[in-house]
Amino acid sequence: MRHFTYQGLPTQVTFGTGTVALLPTVLAQQGVRRAMLLSTPQQAEQARAATRSLGNTIVATFTDATMHTPVEVTARAEAELAACGADGVVAFGGGSTIGLGKALAVRTGVRHIAVPTTYAGSEMTPILGETAGGRKTTRRASEILPHAVVYDVDLTLGLPPGISGTSGINAIAHAVEGLYARDTNPVMQLVAQEGIRALASALPRVVADGADMAARSQALYGAWLCGMVLGSVGMALHHKLCHTLGGSFDLPHAETHAIVLPHALAYNAPAISEAMAILRSALGDDDPAAALHRLARQVGAPCALRDLGMPESGIDVATDQALENAYWNPRPLERAGVRDLIARAWAGDPPAASESESA
């Protein structure tokens, strides 16, 4: 077995059904006496209802969390945080809200308690992506990681099929890249395999019947594991591309991941034989890239970047940006191959068969 380093994440995790009722205990354990509740406008009422047990511990509510964590939105939230004297934030929702919680915590030092309602997995990572001037930048630091996470399967029951599918594939993407990350290790590979298996099995059932508690529980469990992988090891081409596309063309985060994942995997396939073997086992398919493309269609996720509003002219723009700064990837980044990857994702074509088959 090769040499490796493993660092466990210190986040306190509570998982189950009805666990949102334990929030008062979790906040007390985290030393939070005055909290600001965070959500998007769409989830404001659900957030207030779910956190009612906190009573007067919630001293302010900010409901303008926005996709890609624009710095101007964070600045407004930070001003309100200072005005109310909160010593913690409760981020209720998906990646947009949890991203805002991370931005506030890393700027101010307040405690961050995440209550995820999607399968994005952002709550388990010390990674923050922020957008300024149309460009999205990402940083990783231990103080970005939420201090506590409360997973409540009940809160996912109202998640629409489309969001369930795309956020779940977004989580799978974290684990897929974690399998072949430069600093991957056997522990995270096991976690990644189990997370991918759980989500790939559960998502079609969740989309077919949103009230299937067993499927919802399995999906949330898988998302937790996949988020752990993203939080523990590095990433490569797939995440670089998705951040480039999201920040440059204001594309929705989860949908972009769902579209790009099979193509990025196909590109890297010739250089990641060990990861491909694990994926064949987790997905029960000899062609993991094609299997992930089929899964996206099966759960109703979009398959073309153009359907998200990206112009065809953006293919070359995104290619240039993806190659701008050197970063590690298991296969060398070649302009023609990266451009073809993006063009296929833009058009909604299947992943390049020659790449995936050559694994």
In the chain, where the domains are located: 12-156, 161-357
Residue range 70-122, pLDDT digits in tens: 999 999 999 999 999 999 999 999 999 999 999 999 999 999 999 999 998 88
Q: Supply 40's token pair.
A: 């998007």
Give the separation between CA 95 and CA 224, rounded to whole angstroms: 13
Cα separation of 65 and 220, whole Å?
Answer: 22
pLDDT digits over 214-273, tens only?
999 999 999 999 999 999 999 899 999 998 898 889 899 899 999 999 999 999 999 999
Tell me how long the chain is: 359
Of 162, 41, 52, residue with least CA distance to 93? 41
What CATH number labels 12-156?
3.40.50.1970
The whole-angstrom separation of Cα 154 and Cα 20 is: 9
- CATH 1.20.120.1750 for domain 161-357, yes or no, is no
User: Model-level pTM?
Assistant: 0.90
At residue 358, the pLDDT reads 41
Q: Measure the CA–CA gap between 35 and 33, rounded to whole angstroms.
A: 7
